[in-house]
Amino acid sequence: MSDAGTDLKGGVPFTPTPLDRSERVYVAGHRGLVGSAIVRKLEAEGFEDVIGRTSAELDLKDRDQTFAFFREAKPKVVVLAAAKVGGILANSTYPVDFLSDNLRIQTNVMDAALEQGVERFLFLGSSCIYPKFASQPIKEDTLLTGHLEETNDAYAIAKIAGILGVQSVRKQYGLPWISAMPTNLYGPNDNFSPKGSHVLPALIRRYDEAAAAGVHAVTNWGTGTPRREFLHVDDMADACLHLLEHYDGPAQVNVGTGSDVTIKEIAETIAEVVGFTGDTEWDTTKPDGTPQKLLDVTKLAEAGWTAKISLADGLASTVDWYREHHTALRE
């Protein structure tokens, strides 16, 4: 199947157009890092009926609850940003949870949206879907061409299944659903928990607490040599709306900046931003994870979008947000 937009129901061409700002948009995972940014973006762009439900109000792992919600709410646009996510430690410790929870969430939401005939549907995955030793920068067509990173393979398999779910709906029902695969995200509403966070928020918390306590050294996992790409979540939200209004195709679209830094470099930058003046030590007995994850963002650029928020500006604003909210954050 080519990337050209085609409604397979009768072969009628589909061309993405600006979304109707008055139609109901359901953002699954609206309180999370990505979902909350998408809600902020949609509301800033004049969308009048953006809805979400907390996990206490709606358990997306429960099929009956999910179908009942869709039948009542009848959204016209759906963004699936709900997922069980975590860093190396969480993924390595709880692979069953990451596989089972994410498969159930995705299947329930997609099936319920399909029952309601939702036309514009955006599934959000992760760059960890790609092979551990994929050529850099990683192109979309390297999917399923090699072994995954062992520390988060269960989560990656679930997200790959989500991409196939979108492609299957396009093939069988002709609905123009799409998928986007973001690189490492950061920003307001991130998870700063020591046990469940990704590398950047974990480093922000570690260095900020060290600076406040006046300790002389901070120890990080691994060697510090892996390279990572970081995208501010407000940029991600902007890209999501852009793709919904300008892209149609079965292939997932990489969303990133097109540039990366080493973990050591990002640690040094965060230490400087928070005012930590001590030493940084590296525990090389701990895993590094994938040596490099830099996304090829050619397809995204061809769709007319590029990142706007610099890493320096994004880090500074994220540290400010963390300091303002850290007393209320989850442990």
Inside any domain, residue 211: no
Binding site annotation covers 198? yes
Active-site residue, from 26, 155, 186, 247 = 155
As a whole number of Å, the end-to-end CA separation of the chain is 45
In tens digits, the chain (331 residues) has pLDDT values of: 334 444 445 556 788 999 999 999 999 999 999 999 999 999 999 999 999 999 999 999 999 999 999 999 999 999 999 999 877 778 888 999 999 999 999 999 999 999 999 999 999 999 999 998 899 999 999 999 999 989 889 999 999 999 999 999 999 999 999 999 999 999 999 988 877 677 899 999 999 999 999 999 999 999 999 999 999 999 999 999 999 999 999 999 999 999 999 999 999 999 999 999 999 999 999 988 778 889 999 999 999 999 999 999 999 999 999 999 987 766 5
Binding site annotation covers 159? yes
Residue 262: predicted pLDDT: 97
Domain total in the chain = 1
In terms of residue numbers, what domain contains 95?
Answer: 6-187+230-258+293-307
Inside any domain, residue 221: no
Inside any domain, residue 182: yes
Question: What's 14's domain CATH number?
Answer: 3.40.50.720
Angle value at C-alpha 79, between 73 and 80, nearest 5 degrees? 100
Residue 215: predicted pLDDT: 94
Residue 8: predicted pLDDT: 47
Binding site annotation covers 221? yes
Alpha helices in the chain (DSSP H): 33-44, 63-73, 88-93, 95-115, 153-173, 199-213, 233-246, 263-274, 298-302, 311-325
Binding site annotation covers 125? yes
Inside any domain, residue 1: no
Quick check: is 155 catalytic?
yes
Tally of CB atoms within 10 A around 172: 10
Inside any domain, residue 225: no
Binding site annotation covers 288? yes
Gap between the Cα atoms of 127 and 297, Å rounded? 12
Inside any domain, residue 266: no
Binding site annotation covers 228? yes
- With b for 16 or more beta-carbon neighbours within 10 A and e for fewer, the 243-267 pattern comes to bbeebbbbbbbbbbbbebeebbebb
Q: What is the pTM of this model?
A: 0.90
Of the candidates 169, 188, 166, 177, the one whose C-alpha atom is nearest the C-alpha of residue 243 is 177
Inside any domain, residue 214: no
Inside any domain, residue 60: yes
Residue 177 in tokens: 């659903």
